Amino acid sequence: MGKVIVTLKDGATREYEAGTTLMSVASDISRGLAKKALAAKVNGQVVDLMLPLHDDANIEFLTGEDEGGLEALRHTASHMLAQAVQRLYGPAKLAIGPAIANGFYYDIDAEKTFAPADLEAIQAEMEKIAKEDLPLIRQEWPREQALDFFRKAGEIYKVELIENLPADAKISVYTQGEFTDLCAGPHVPSTGRVKAFKLQSLAGAYWRGDVKNKMLQRIYGTAFEKKEQLTAYLTMLEEAARRDHRKLGKELDLFSMQDEGPGFPFFHPNGMVLRNELENYWRAIHREFGYQEIKTPVILSRALWEQSGHWDHYRENMYFTKIDEGDYAVKPMNCPGAILVYRAKLHSYKEFPLRQCELGLVHRHELSGALHGLMRVRSFTQDDAHIFMLPSQIKAEIQEVIRLFDTVYSVFGLSYHAELSTRPENSMGDDATWEMTTQALRDALDAYGLPFKVNEGDGAFYGPKIDFHLTDSIGRTWQCGTIQLDMQLPEKFDLTYIGEDGQKARPVMIHRVAYGSMERFIGILIEHFAGAFPVWMAPVQVRILPITDRQAEYAEQLRQRFFAAGIRVQVDDRSEKVGYKIREGQMQKIPYLLVVGDKEAQEGLVAVRKRGAGDLGALSVEAFLDNLQKEIDEKTI
């Protein structure tokens, strides 16, 4: 049969008989690896462990700690879900059941309408399937055999999927026990490998996402390699529900979403305080890093969007209007306006790098089902910046942007990791330009010493980008900051500068955001801090609680003094017991509650209660104000 040579991740090589499966290779390396491995990567492609090797290959075994291994585990869980449904409720028609971020789902066309209580029965049947430890057997069938099998089974959705494949496509199916499903894979070796899973919720989903098609029932679940990982994830979800920014936004009177403006947030006074503090910090840090602020119009002509490429590449996400019989669009991005500001005068190489920043309001059309509080809206303010520079300045300038991002995120106690996204299918420009710009981003990340992951084909249509994914206080990640290197728009808009030789030359352009959008970043911070904002951001920093009416005058004197010092302060002079006022102040997550009675009024003191620390005792007004101002100035978390 011949021999094959496999090269392992550490560079070691081994020789096997042709036809040896990956599982046999794993077993030969060690029993522990064979037990832990869920899938393998062969020459960069994730495959089943039961795949036989017929050629030399580079091999990496994947466990539940690897993205590919976990995805194979969750994909298998989705098949177990479908198998359990058909065991319990008869021949339900199956659509698709992929692994997704944090879990899996299956879309099902069944006569029975599933209720939350049914998830328990399906979960129990899945657990039986896991105990049966059914091997997953992959087969490749001719097209007609596959069509015949699924037609006889009444699987109309599978038939449609096969009919839409090329005539010469290899049709792969997976069988576990009595259950066979159309699937490209990969999967784990047997159902017994799927031990830690949980069905979570029900939803409706149109077949192929088309509202003209039938509404199917979607069952969501999640799966992990180990039960303790599942328990930790479910605990995190419970904490996330407690921190939900929509819930806290209402309780803390920060913002609302109204039927009259779906996807368009309304910020209330408390929310505007929070927003303004974020904007004030944004302006201060950008001034420190050498940026100049600009402002560009919300509506610009169709000709501009055609020139920028948005008309061809982004039109489905845009809103339009007519002015004086001409076509205009509401801007979905700020960059074309910033380019017009740059082009308004002649520039010299001596000005570079030229850093311009903008808090620019943009509008993007989102489907109503995708809207989600402040996280997914139709109008939002991007904290944009556009930097124009010489090609020789790219590496240093990107490093400077990373330094700015690092400074900003540390203020909020947010750690992060970077991901580099490369050329997408619908891109503009030539291969050489894309290779040069992508390498420039790689070099800057390497020089800064920032580890990064590569997302092939996920860049912007005009250039590669670096995305910054923030980790919040309960371990969730959020994509916020972006650095996009662009040599396309300067070309499209014929941007120039006068070089050292006195000749016109083309600048390089960086697009970047730190917060991402004000709205989404506020939503993230609400959940990150669970509404208990650092004192410098808090809508109300101090609330004064007089015990009786006798202290009302002293409380008002304190309020005026604090207000004059720039503190956001309130007096709760209601005829309620002080204990009730304290509990309410705690519920509203106010950083400092100052209780004042007769003694405090007579001696010029305040009895301080600090959020999270409790009673700090009595302090002089001067001492309290000094400590508070220091905490605000240092932006203490």
Any domain includes 355: yes
pLDDT in tens, 593-609: 999 999 999 999 999 99
Edge to edge, the sheet with strand 299-301 lists 299-301, 326-330, 319-323
Catalytic residue among 382, 484, 541, 588: 382
Instruction: State residue 283's pLDDT score.
Output: 97
Res 291 pLDDT > 80: yes
Instruction: State residue 634's pLDDT score.
Output: 96
Average of per-residue pLDDT across 12-20: 90
Any domain includes 215: yes
Q: What residue ranges in 488-535 does DSSP mark as E strands?
A: 497-498, 504-505, 508-513
Active site residue 465: yes
In this structure, the answer to whether residues 395 and 459 fall within a common structural domain is yes
Residues 542, 562: Cα–Cα separation, whole Å? 9
CATH of the domain at 441: 3.30.930.10
Three-point CA angle 423, 356, 389, nearest 5°: 55
Give the pLDDT band (50/70/90) at residue 428: confident
CATH of the domain at 151: 3.30.980.10
Any domain includes 414: yes
In this structure, the answer to whether residues 43 and 73 fall within a common structural domain is no
Give the pLDDT band (50/70/90) at residue 91: confident
Q: Are 48 and 79 in contact (CB under 8 A)?
A: no
Give φ, ψ of 357 to 5 degrees: -125, 155
Catalytic residue among 364, 520, 528, 609: 364
Residues 137, 177: Cα–Cα separation, whole Å? 9
Question: What is the DSSP secondary structure assignment for residue 114, as one 8-state letter?
Answer: -
Structure tokens belonging to residue 137: 């057997």
Catalytic residue among 181, 384, 472, 486: 384
Active site residue 382: yes
pLDDT in tens, 487-496: 788 988 999 9
Cis omega (within 30 of 0) for bond into 353? yes
Instruction: State residue 461's pLDDT score.
Output: 74
In this structure, the answer to whether residues 73 and 53 fall within a common structural domain is no
Res 426 pLDDT > 80: no
Q: Tell me which of 23, 38, 63 is where a domain ends.
A: 63
Any domain includes 157: yes
In this structure, the answer to whether residues 165 and 39 fall within a common structural domain is no
Any domain includes 326: no
Any domain includes 617: yes
Instruction: State residue 370's pLDDT score.
Output: 86
pLDDT in tens, 159-215: 999 999 888 888 999 999 999 999 998 999 999 999 999 999 999 999 988 888 999
Structure tokens belonging to residue 191: 């159902």
Q: Tell me which of 206, 240, 274 is where a domain ends.
A: 240
In this structure, the answer to whether residues 138 and 214 fall within a common structural domain is yes
pLDDT in tens, 456-469: 888 877 788 999 99
Residues 213, 216: Cα–Cα separation, whole Å? 9
User: How far from 411 is each of 266, 447, 470, CA to CA, in Å?
Assistant: 26, 24, 13
Residues 601, 87: Cα–Cα separation, whole Å? 75
In this structure, the answer to whether residues 7 and 149 fall within a common structural domain is no
Burial class (CB in 10 A: 0-12, 13-18, 19+), 372: middle
In this structure, the answer to whether residues 120 and 186 fall within a common structural domain is yes
Q: How many CB atoms lie within 10 A of CB 238?
A: 10
Which residues sit opposite 5 in a β-bridge?
15
pLDDT in tens, 66-85: 989 999 999 999 999 999 99
Mean pLDDT of the chain: 93
pLDDT in tens, 569-588: 999 999 999 999 999 999 99
Res 1 pLDDT > 70: no
**Which one, of 419, 515, 530, lies nearest residue 474 by Cα?**
530
CATH of the domain at 28: 3.10.20.30
Instruction: Specify the residue for token string 């120039």.
Output: 496
Structurally, the chain folds into a number of domains equal to 4
In this structure, the answer to whether residues 602 and 562 fall within a common structural domain is yes
Residues 256, 244: Cα–Cα separation, whole Å? 14
Res 416 pLDDT > 80: yes
Residues 446, 427: Cα–Cα separation, whole Å? 25
Catalytic residue among 363, 386, 543, 589: 386
Name residues whose C-beta falls within 8 Å of residue 168's C-beta, 6 or more positions apart in sequence: none
Residues 47, 185: Cα–Cα separation, whole Å? 7
In this structure, the answer to whether residues 236 and 92 fall within a common structural domain is yes
Active site residue 598: no
Instruction: Specify the residue for token string 């997914």.
Output: 376
CATH of the domain at 572: 3.40.50.800
Q: What pTM did the predictor assign?
A: 0.83
Share of the chain above pLDDT 90, in %: 82
pLDDT in tens, 434-446: 888 899 899 999 9
Any domain includes 148: yes
- Report the Cα 216 to chain-centroid distance in Å: 27
Give the pLDDT band (50/70/90) at residue 425: confident
Instruction: Specify the residue for token string 């879309």.
Output: 107
Any domain includes 410: yes
Res 551 pLDDT > 70: yes
In this structure, the answer to whether residues 289 and 373 fall within a common structural domain is yes
Residues 218, 427: Cα–Cα separation, whole Å? 34
Active site residue 384: yes
pLDDT in tens, 53-67: 999 999 999 999 998
In this structure, the answer to whether residues 363 and 269 fall within a common structural domain is yes
Expressed as residue numbers, the domain containing 189 is 68-240
pLDDT in tens, 354-376: 999 999 999 999 988 889 999 99
In this structure, the answer to whether residues 99 and 185 fall within a common structural domain is yes
Catalytic residue among 218, 275, 378, 511: 511
Active site residue 528: no
